[in-house]
Amino acid sequence: NTSPFVLFGGMNVLEDAGLASDVCAHFVEVTSRLGIPFVFKASFDKANRSSIGSFRGPGLSKGLEWLADIKTRFDVPVITDVHEPHQAAPVADVADILQLPAFLARQTDLVTALAGTGKPINVKKPQFLAPEEMRHIITKCRDSGNDRVMLCERGSCFGYNNLIVDMLGMDLMKNMGPVVFDATHALQRPGGRTDSADGRRSQAVVLARAGMAVGIAGLFIEAHPDPEAAKCDGPSALPLAALEPYLVQMQAVDRMVKGFAPLEIV
Amino acid sequence: NTSPFVLFGGMNVLEDAGLASDVCAHFVEVTSRLGIPFVFKASFDKANRSSIGSFRGPGLSKGLEWLADIKTRFDVPVITDVHEPHQAAPVADVADILQLPAFLARQTDLVTALAGTGKPINVKKPQFLAPEEMRHIITKCRDSGNDRVMLCERGSCFGYNNLIVDMLGMDLMKNMGPVVFDATHALQRPGGRTDSADGRRSQAVVLARAGMAVGIAGLFIEAHPDPEAAKCDGPSALPLAALEPYLVQMQAVDRMVKGFAPLEIV
Amino acid sequence: NTSPFVLFGGMNVLEDAGLASDVCAHFVEVTSRLGIPFVFKASFDKANRSSIGSFRGPGLSKGLEWLADIKTRFDVPVITDVHEPHQAAPVADVADILQLPAFLARQTDLVTALAGTGKPINVKKPQFLAPEEMRHIITKCRDSGNDRVMLCERGSCFGYNNLIVDMLGMDLMKNMGPVVFDATHALQRPGGRTDSADGRRSQAVVLARAGMAVGIAGLFIEAHPDPEAAKCDGPSALPLAALEPYLVQMQAVDRMVKGFAPLEIV
Amino acid sequence: NTSPFVLFGGMNVLEDAGLASDVCAHFVEVTSRLGIPFVFKASFDKANRSSIGSFRGPGLSKGLEWLADIKTRFDVPVITDVHEPHQAAPVADVADILQLPAFLARQTDLVTALAGTGKPINVKKPQFLAPEEMRHIITKCRDSGNDRVMLCERGSCFGYNNLIVDMLGMDLMKNMGPVVFDATHALQRPGGRTDSADGRRSQAVVLARAGMAVGIAGLFIEAHPDPEAAKCDGPSALPLAALEPYLVQMQAVDRMVKGFAPLEIV
């Protein structure tokens, strides 16, 4: 939480191989120019869409192929989320970091399957969980022999159909491990559209800046060349064209807060 | 939601075959005496305990054996929860009703696997979901050819480490299907103990009465002969010895509210 | 909390003397027929409307005149709310019970002014306060020499623009004194209309039944002959024509729950 | 919200004239050195303490004397909060800015009394109010002929006994007027101590930085030379000794975010 931040960036879901590659190319270009460590993120399956007819992605095998291809061609580490225990091993063959989805973060078999791969794990904090309870998930990983755990804030339930980011809670999690801020999913308005979540894309910059000002290990974002046409979570996605100016701000805030002289208040 | 309520009752987890049988025997005796339709509930696996060392249950095959045995011996229908898609078919061979766990209620593969069995499904409303959003889960089931869906209220996130039951939300769900009130899980205080949830057992009667007064299709409760010694969720469990006087109250309230002349307010 | 419930009923605001009288007449007629102890409620001033142009009422002196007149003509006790310390004494000359408004319930001068009159006080639980914190307000009254305090539940903040009634919290307050359930304000949706609160009038019966099932000392409701034309909180008001069938249900539930054999769960 | 931020700083309550003067002296020294526009804040009365025995302050007349003295000696503008309509005029004789307390922010008479003085008003957003509803309070002020209104975020109710700062809500309020962030009251844990609120002082820096990163017009803080000995809200107060390094950080973040090239996301 004190080194320059790592960017976990990419697309919500692997819409098609060409688009994923284009998105990664843009992320690589921008982060290289800015000198930001970069991990490419995309899901091979969206396992909990609001509607059964919603696009879910290419599935495990094709998705891993695409990710492996991107990884090789761009020479970037890759992160993706795992939804069932049996997926952990094949995903770990390709992905450098495994992500534990928020709604599933307490499913013991999934946690131990991920931990068993030995790969670092990015645990999304469930919207229904207090920050302090993340300790239990970390302990489950440790008890499975894996202590390479990152904690990812993506908002907490605030009444119905709303998420709120508790900056103090995110700060508390820094005592437990590296903290990553998922600054685009936190823009969601669950159930805000007829058959999917709405989002607050126009406030993407402000929310991410506030999170970076806390002083954290990583920033997680999803972008799309045309958010309105995105097949999942477009209302929360950063337009790809805004990526560079957006990251310029985040990098500046990150550098500044990590450069401050320590100030302990008791 | 207008007929006499059905009781879904039993134990949190199948601690051992003898205890499960004893608990069922007591439920059968009491519900027979009171004339309350009864479905036995117990989990073969607690898949999302706070700690990895917590008791999880006998597992799928032994658990189904025990449930099948109970079903035959007591001639009662049985409900149990399913955590992974591949479990749906074997569970449906034994169980009369399948339960979709709250945290997993949006996992499309699990929903369609349950729906595909043709058995009625009890959908636990996720603590993070607005009542209106339950429509999406019902639609997923219908699109999978199954419209025998019950909606089960078990409390909503209220800040950290607290659940609250929205009686108005439960009432709204009556427009979508039969509503079941899980009146003991709603007593939980998530993360309230060092390594597990706490509960408000002493308020079990009051909360259940309030829910019954709404006028619903079913009551869901977990009981234990010695809640302090229960292997899971004891702080929220009804002491088995209190079952009969508890149900006497619930039946009386249920009969009363369903006997009232209709009163529509516009 | 164990005797038959008292009804605190009337209008939101004293719209005009004639209407107030008509409303009271109907309440008196119905409660006499049903044998329900009745206290007439109406506000002389709505001091915290959303908009400055909203109707506020006749004000202190005219309002007290009207209330005094109603009190005499119908021979009923009267309750009304007090917004500033200097109003406490004149209000206490007319009203039998003083009401402490929710947003003002922590204003020490107002609390002590009310307590100083020696009259019983109905403390509306602020939407922002935990049930346990009501002890502080009771203590303030006691320290001012007045221990005739009732605690009134009217919903808690649940995210933005929503209220939720915590039946377990209401139950906890029974340990502190007589509990009254304001079953119509709890229907509010704050900020739900362009310039005022919206409400969930169509759910009035269900919510009140749930509250009565807890077993409480009093029910507080506001009714109106034509809720759509009410000058304040019409969306939450009970149509006056529904009063009798509504109270029939509440009385039945109240009698039933207070007639149950005690059932302590430890 | 685009100019360098103004600091509203001082003490929670005017404990005694000497201490208030010392605190102001330190604020003046530090803000002069840093070139931060400064307004001194202190309350003459804490009108809604949890307990009747809690320290309330010197009261209106002595408090205004002290504030007038501080204002003259240090040549700083002064802000203080007003609790009853009749206080507005005398307070406006001394204070340059009037503050509308959160719990009282919907009391129409108080709002119009403050507005009627012609002085700028700092409206504390009630913990129970949605950001959009602040428009109603602004409109009340405008309808009273005063449009010099600042909107002050101090946290929203999040379950019981907790406050959470909605950075997206604070951002929305920027469309309505200058936004001030009360970064120390937002640290409160209401009801967290036996007879008063607890606080999260050790997280003061992080929360304030996050708020400054939103890009706002003002920062509001309370400090104390010895927070443990403070007579009100010590658990949320900044230690005076930390003021300069704290402000150095806030000023740096403020300058940075206001220096960024505009980045509109649609």
Q: Where are the alpha helices (DSSP H) in chain D?
A: 17-34, 60-74, 88-94, 108-116, 134-143, 167-173, 204-212, 243-259
Q: What is the ipTM of this complex?
A: 0.96
**Residue appearing with tokens 């005017």:** D14
Q: Are strands A156-157 and A163-164 parallel, antiparallel or unpaired?
A: antiparallel
Q: Residue C166 and residue B164: Cβ atoms within 8 Å?
A: yes
Residue C51 has a pLDDT of: 87
Q: What is the pLDDT of residue D195?
A: 82
Core vs surface per residue B153-166: b (16+ CB within 10 A) or e = bbbbbbbbbbbbbb
Distance spanning both ends of chain A, measured CA to CA: 20
Over the stretch B92-112, which tens digit does the pLDDT of each residue have? 999 999 999 999 999 999 999
What pLDDT is recorded for position A2?
A: 87
Rounded Cα distance between C27 and C11, Å, is: 10
What is the reported pLDDT for A51? 87
pLDDT in tens, B150-168: 999 999 999 999 999 999 9
Chain D environment of A167 (Cβ under 8 Å)? 165, 167, 206-207, 210
Contact B162 D159 (CB under 8 A): yes
Chain B closest CA to D97's CA: distance in Å? 34
If you count residue pairs, one on B and one on C, with CB atoms under 8 Å apart, how many are there? 117
Report pLDDT for C170: 98
Catalytic residue among B45, B182, B198, B233: B233
In chain B, what residues touch C243 (CB-CB under 8 Å)?
Answer: none
Strand pairing class (B6-13; C149-153): unpaired
Q: Which chain A residue lies closest to C158 (C-alpha atoms)?
A: A159
Q: What is the pLDDT of residue C50?
A: 87
φ and ψ at residue D182, rounded to 5 degrees: -85, 90
Judged by CB atoms closer than 8 Å, whether chains meet at C133 and D107 is answered as no
pLDDT < 70: residue spans in chain A: none
Mean pLDDT, chain D, rounded, equals 96
Residue (of C224, C250, C204, C183) closest to C31 by Cα position: C250
Least confident of B45-59, B155-169, B205-219, C79-93: B45-59
Chain D residue set in contact with B, beta carbons under 8 Å: 158-162
Instruction: Give the pLDDT confidence of A4-19 residue by residue, as tens digits.
Output: 999 999 999 999 999 9
| Per-residue pLDDT tens digits for B12-24 | 999 999 999 999 9
Ordered per-residue pLDDT tens for chain C, 266 residues: 889 999 999 999 999 999 999 999 999 999 999 999 999 999 999 999 988 889 999 999 999 999 999 999 999 999 999 999 999 999 999 999 999 999 999 999 999 999 999 999 999 999 999 999 999 999 999 999 999 999 999 999 999 999 999 999 999 999 999 999 999 999 999 998 888 889 999 999 999 999 999 999 999 999 999 999 999 999 999 999 999 999 999 999 999 999 999 999 99
Q: Which chains touch D (3 or more CB pairs under 8 A)?
A: A, B, C
* Dihedral (CA of A114, A118, A123, A129) sign: positive
Task: Please state the rounded mean pLDDT for residues B193-219.
Answer: 95
Residue A144, pLDDT score: 95
Please choose, from the candidates A249, A247, A238, the residue with its C-alpha nearest in 3D space to the C-alpha of residue D214. Answer: A249
Closest chain B residue by Cα to residue A164:
B159
Contact C104 D107 (CB under 8 A): yes
pLDDT single digits (tens) B117-142: 999 999 999 999 999 999 999 999 99
Q: Which residue of D has its CA nearest to B159?
A: D159
Mean pLDDT across B138-147: 96
> Which pLDDT score, from 0 to 100, does residue A53 have?
86
Residues from chain A that touch D253, judged by Cβ atoms under 8 A, are: 213, 253, 256-257
Per-residue pLDDT, D193: 85
Residue B12 designated active-site: yes
For C161-211, the pLDDT digits (tens) are 999 999 999 999 999 999 999 999 999 999 988 888 899 999 999 999 999
Q: Which residues of chain D have a pLDDT value below 50?
A: none
Q: Which position among B41, B46, B125, B231 bears the catalytic label?
A: B46
Q: What is the pLDDT of residue B53?
A: 86
pLDDT over 90 at B2, yes or no: no
Active site residue A233: yes
Reply yes or no on whether C69 is catalytic. Answer: no
